[in-house]
Structure 1
Amino acid sequence: MFEKVIINVGGQTFITKRSTLHRYPDTKLANISETCDYFDKTTEVYYFDRNPLIFQSVLDYYRTGKLHFLSNICAEQIREEIEFWEISTADLGPCCWKYFYAVDSDLKTCNVIDTYFFHKKCSLYSSTSSLTKVKSKIWNLLESPGSSKIAFVWQIFYLCVVCIAILVSIIQSFELSRTEMKGDYNETSEEGITKRLSDHDNWIGVVSNVCIVIFILETSLRLATCPCKFNFFLSFLNVVDIVSVVGCFAHVIVGAFPDSNEAFFTFTYALVILQGFRFFRLERFIEGLRIMLLSIKQSKKMLCLLILILLISSIIFGMTIHIVEMNGDFADAINSFYWAIITMTTIGYGDIYPKTKCGQIIASVCATFGLFLLSMPIAVVANNFTDLNKRYCEHQCHLHQQKKSTWGRNDKKEFIPIKY
């Protein structure tokens, strides 16, 4: 066996000692010999059709015991080469961690963008009958605005109905306030609310009922034509639709009985107001809104941590101000917790405030802590939004280049690029 080892990688020759390669016996280079498939007996050279730039770093690892790579090489390509040479990344230098492991988060973001924006979910039905085809067309009409012009027009009409329903609820609230100020109702407060909420004789009630009927029909059709009922109930907007529809029926039933409890009657009306969440269906048309909702979803761990720390901090500051301001507005522990949350979120209504010097110091510390507490998750959400938006634009550009290449092969006419 020769002490000198000549290795040709991708046409570039490297010379080293066999003792150097034996420093890591569990690797590929430590186990090469004259009998392996990579050895040429004529030239006494080991030939590997691999990347020579990465192999330079691999050979340096055998010489120095430290694994470093050039930052201008793709990290995924480096991983493939490391896997081929059977080298562990445990000895990777800390200076290379940033760009070597950053590709993981980049690939994860690209997969998220690809899944939510560019991969159409296949809706598979259990049969291929004519009824199934009709259900498929109805489902695409209700769920995919880009499937046809009729689907796009329907989505615009649906969002207009949502806006009208929200506007009607606002007008009803204004009418209640104006009527109570004029004193037109001789009923008690409970009767007045019941009368306003169940008043279907005027034009506002008619418009509200028409919107509710449209919502009920739309939700029923989507539930009936959905190919996977389990995935249907996993969607937050679908659950809101079903709850609001149930609230509509409950509201009408409760309103038919004058002796109904006011709290239950108001609760059923609140369920109806949940239909305002349907406005978030705009994310089907506005990519920025969808990216914003997606960034919030990607930051759910940080947001849950924020809520947990906020609750713990409100208990600590609330109990502290409760002890210090025992004889004032903070005699009630609930008021103390309420004040702590309002102060830490920098809202500061001013309805409850400390009057002693010690209480004011605690309030200052509480407000300062709230500033630092809120700034961290907001920065994480903003960073996720920026990253997702950047990857989305890159994906759009890549698809544009693919379309351009396909167009060029099929038709040699001039292709006008689209600016994103």
Structure 2
Amino acid sequence: MELPEVEYLSLTATELQDPVSPTEEETIILNVGGVNHEVSLETLSSKPGTKLSNLSVLKQHYRPTKKDYYFDRHPMIFLAILNYYRTGELHIPLQFCGPSVKKELAFWQIDETLIQECCWINYHEYQEQKESLIKFNAFFSNDENIYKDIEDTKCPLWRRLRLMAWRTLEEPCSSLAGKVYAGISLMMVLLSISIFMLDSHHILDVRPHDGAWNLTMSLFGTSYEEYQDLQDHMSGKHDNASHAIGDDVRFNLLHPAVEILNFFCAGFFTLDLLARIICCPRFRLLVSPLMCIDVVALVPFYVELILNICRPEELYKQSVFDFLQLLQIARILRIFRVAKHYTGIKVILYALKESVSEIILTIVMLCIAMILFASLMFYGDNVYNESSKIEDIMIGCWWAVITLTTVGYGDKVPTSGIGYVVGTVTAFCGVLLLAMTIPIIVSNFLLYYAQSQSDKKKCKTKKPEKEDDCDA
């Protein structure tokens, strides 16, 4: 099928105007949004392929009574478009919104890539922000398809109950039970973290021969005599075992009250994990980072419990089980399960996720600067200076990181004139390095946080009866 040829301006103004009211001037009147613009035909015909250079389109908008061509479009943006016809350069004023300009350019059939470089960054920024906000909303939006079977009476009762339980566990604002459970979870997380921190302090330790010590041992089903045999086995002595076990700090135990609380927390999180596994509607949710954190946080507790019951001597000597103690740090990460229901923390985490490239760039630049200035400091500070504290380049790297990040512990400092010069340059470069990269991460956070607050206000405006739902 042959396409009809488009007729572009090649007529005079007299032929284009209403035949009843011809004009001798080679100009026409364009009325855009109520604002008249007088422009020559030569100017319009200089941009073939655009709307105003198309004769058939212009005839459709001609008003004989007013002898003009009316377009109900944005009059202020049209000034920039008309200037493009006159000068050949497309400049967009900064006060106009990107989507509005995009629609106007599409209407006038002008390619947006013709925008000059000085205006392109500001114009195109809106599109990047729009795409980022779409991803942001999609990331935090709830998958309602998961819960569509709750209201379906044809769905098996067991599946409906599982979905209701999962919604209670994952979406606190969905019901009163969810809010209550979220509050209990928060208290249990804080209690677990408190026990983890206090466990590192001797204030809650009980020593052998203390009354509470026997009670703590009984929690593991171990008698005092069994622990005496354990001490004899490890020390190789059988005399005065009672005195030795009392002086050995390795045999100090947690206060029984704290140990009971520890058992209670572990039991709560175990039941919580089992409930999530049973009620989880989709397998991919089982391998989420928060589920992995729950598993890793529970492993050290149960390993230590089993060893206390079966082979307690393994807990009081260096072995591979020492590594499991490090996994207890995962208790602290449980706070993210509760924190995910709070907007500010979610925005911070998402901003960091979207700023990975900037963070990597910062680290790379920091490593390059670290190696460079560490080498300069090592060779510069050791020139005729026997009292230099930068014994090697590795120590110089430590000094460079502390200086570049403007921390300045002061444990390693230059002691020569050349070292002072290198230190000054290093500090100055550190400030520039952080000033160039960190604002990018901050701008991402401000963008996403402003969007989250805007969505929250919209939600409250549209559904005032469900204000609590906006919190998530």
User: Is the pair's TM-score, using the shorter chain for normalization, greater than 0.5?
Assistant: yes
SS at match of 2:143: coil
Aligned counterpart for 1:393 among listed residues 442, 447, 453: 453
Q: Superposed, which structure 2 residues align to 1:7-86 within 5 Å?
A: 7=30, 9-10=32-33, 14-33=37-56, 38=60, 48-86=71-109
The AA in structure 1 aligned to 2:397 is F
Structure 1 residues 101 and 9 mapped into 2: Cα distance closer, same or farther (>3 Å)? same
Aligned counterpart for 2:409 among listed residues 326, 345, 349: 349
> Any unmatched runs of 5+ in structure 1?
408-420
TM-score by length of 2: 0.70
Structure 1 residues 168 and 392 mapped into 2: Cα distance closer, same or farther (>3 Å)? same
Aligned to 1:339: 399
- Alignment partners' CA distance in 2, 1:71 and 1:88: 18
SS at match of 1:320: helix
- Alignment partners' CA distance in 2, 1:17 and 1:373: 54
Aligned to 2:166: 139
Aligned to 2:470: none
Aligned to 2:111: 88
Aligned counterpart for 2:348 among listed residues 276, 292, 305: 292
Q: Give the C-alpha shift of residue 394 in structure 1.
A: 3.1
- Greater shift in the superposed pair: 357-366 or 323-332: 323-332
Aligned to 1:217: 271
- Alignment partners' CA distance in 1, 2:318 and 2:278: 34
Deviation by residue 1:215-256 (Cα, 9 ceiling, x = unmatched): 2322333244333332553x4333322322344444445665
Aligned to 2:377: 321
Q: Is the 8 A contact 1:145 1:284 kept in 2?
A: no
Q: Give the C-alpha shift of residue 136 in structure 1.
A: 0.9
Q: Is the 8 A contact 2:205 2:255 kept in 1?
A: no
Deviation by residue 1:343-383 (Cα, 9 ceiling, x = unmatched): 32233333333333333433333333323323444433333
Structure 1 residues 75 and 308 mapped into 2: Cα distance closer, same or farther (>3 Å)? same
Aligned to 1:243: 296
- Alignment partners' CA distance in 1, 2:283 and 2:248: 41
Q: Give the C-alpha shift of residue 158 in structure 1.
A: 1.0
Aligned counterpart for 2:185 among listed residues 139, 149, 158: 158
The AA in structure 1 aligned to 2:429 is F
Q: Is the 8 A contact 1:165 1:211 kept in 2?
A: yes
Q: Is the 8 A contact 1:319 1:336 kept in 2?
A: yes
Q: Give the C-alpha shift of residue 125 in structure 1.
A: 7.3
Q: Give the C-alpha shift of residue 391 in structure 1.
A: 3.2
Report whether the alignment pairs 1:111 with 2:128.
no
Aligned to 1:414: none
- Alignment partners' CA distance in 1, 2:120 and 2:159: 53
Aligned to 2:333: 277
**Count of paired positions:** 396
- Alignment partners' CA distance in 2, 1:335 and 1:140: 53
Q: Is the 8 A contact 1:248 1:271 kept in 2?
A: no
Q: Give the C-alpha shift of residue 208 in structure 1.
A: 1.5
- Alignment partners' CA distance in 2, 1:10 and 1:89: 22
Q: Give the C-alpha shift of residue 135 in structure 1.
A: 1.7
Q: Give the C-alpha shift of residue 15 in structure 1.
A: 4.7
Q: Is the 8 A contact 1:244 1:273 kept in 2?
A: yes
Aligned to 1:412: none
Q: Is the 8 A contact 2:32 2:78 kept in 1?
A: yes
- Alignment partners' CA distance in 1, 2:378 and 2:249: 37
TM-score by length of 1: 0.78
Q: Give the C-alpha shift of residue 52 in structure 1.
A: 4.0
SS at match of 1:264: coil
- Alignment partners' CA distance in 1, 2:142 and 2:433: 39
Q: Is the 8 A contact 1:248 1:268 kept in 2?
A: no
- Alignment partners' CA distance in 1, 2:413 and 2:63: 89
Q: Give the C-alpha shift of residue 306 in structure 1.
A: 1.4
Q: Is the 8 A contact 2:45 2:53 kept in 1?
A: yes
Structure 1 residues 42 and 325 mapped into 2: Cα distance closer, same or farther (>3 Å)? closer
- Alignment partners' CA distance in 1, 2:90 and 2:433: 39
- Alignment partners' CA distance in 1, 2:135 and 2:389: 50
Aligned to 1:206: 260
Deviation by residue 1:95-140 (Cα, 9 ceiling, x = unmatched): 54465334235434543554455x3222527984222212211211
Q: Is the 8 A contact 2:389 2:415 kept in 1?
A: no
SS at match of 1:124: helix
Which structure: larger Rg?
A: 2
Q: Percent identity?
A: 26
RMSD across aligned C-alpha pairs, in angstroms?
3.9
SS at match of 2:410: coil
Aligned to 1:2: 11
> Any unmatched runs of 5+ in structure 2?
1-9, 17-27, 150-154, 208-212, 214-227, 236-246, 467-472
Aligned counterpart for 2:421 among listed residues 345, 348, 361: 361
- Alignment partners' CA distance in 2, 1:170 and 1:380: 35
Q: Is the 8 A contact 2:300 2:328 kept in 1?
A: yes
